[in-house]
Amino acid sequence: MIKSVLIPTDGSAYSNVALEYGVHLAERFGAKITGLHVVDDRDLEGPLLTDIAGSLGFTPYQNYLPKFRKILEDRGDLILEAFRRSCEERSIRAKVKRVSGTVPGAISEEAKKVDLVIIAQRGEHERWASGLLGSTTESVVRRSPRPVLVTPAAFRELGNVLVAYDGSFASNQALKTACELFTYADTMLKCVVVTGNEKKCEALTEEIETFVSAYQMDVQIECLEGEAAKEILLFAEKAGIDLIVMGAFGHSRIHDWILGGTTAYVIRNSPFPVLLNR
């Protein structure tokens, strides 16, 4: 059960959608919301501000660091105040917190205190994003000690839930999370297995049916062939899915780290929210 939710916010349109999902889950589960804004220390240490200071004749540069920090902190406070007001408009009293540090590290540290992290697929600089591995969202997914819900550009009610299952421990935990969260909700549970091996498909189908039966839930299972990440998203679109639940890593974490993997591809490209289980 979700009792507490952490929502990092940078004031962007994407993070506002993350807040909508947070409010939706808070209303459904009676959860408490904490809004978090991180003043990124790298913004104060990078070459950009050094160049700006030099071009404007700021000497020495260190004397102006407190002023730059104050500007970033004031901006963060304004973002958090807007976050708090948005929650109050829905009759939800939210806590807000501003911290300093590296963004993924600060979020992961605060995540230890909650049941779920909700983070936007992209942030305020998404128009310049390269799509390469290493974005803030992907870093949080890799480091967070709690499940992470990655939210897309637009909000949708959580009705049909899809679990991507490959037999790994991570996907088994994802199935467990989906069953525990949506047993009593008005949702339809579907599972997809992507494999070209018929025997493996039968074995994984039996695993899923056996596991779900303990929750007295109905489940629809589809076995597909092809590239896992693309097939998952294609099936989700055709089946009218509202939420994808999957493990943060599959059989090979090294494969995910080096090549991008199924998880990273889905995070970057999904038009649906993705709940990643740790």
Instruction: Answer whether residue 58 shows pLDDT above 70.
Output: no
pLDDT in tens, 127-144: 434 333 347 898 899 889
pTM of the entire predicted model: 0.87
Tokens of 272: 């649906």
Per residue in 190-229, pLDDT tens?
A: 999 999 899 999 999 999 999 999 988 889 999 999 999 9
For residue 126, pLDDT beyond 70: no
State which H helix or E strand residue 32 sits in. strand 32-40
Side chain identity at residue 252, one-letter code: S
Q: What is the mean pLDDT of residues 139-164?
A: 93
What span, in angstroms and rounded, lies between the C-alpha atoms of 14 and 147? 19
Burial class of residue 12, CB neighbours in 10 A (0-12, 13-18, 19+) = middle
Distance CA 241, CA 14 (A): 20
Residue 129: CB atoms within 10 A of its CB come to: 14
Domains of the chain: 4-151 (3.40.50.620), 160-246+255-269 (3.40.50.620)
Indicate if the alpha-carbon torsion angle 22, 23, 24, 26 is positive or negative.
positive
pLDDT digit string, tens, across residues 102-114: 999 999 999 999 9
Give 269: exposed, middle or buried? Use CB within 10 Å, 0-12, 13-18, 19+.
middle
Give me the percent of the chain exceeding a pLDDT of 90: 64
Residue 129 confidence (pLDDT): 41
Question: How far, in Å, CA of 94 to CA of 5, rounded?
Answer: 10
Report pLDDT for 259: 38
CB 20 within 8 A of CB 155: yes
Is residue 256's pLDDT more than 70? Answer: no
Tokens 């999902």 correspond to 21
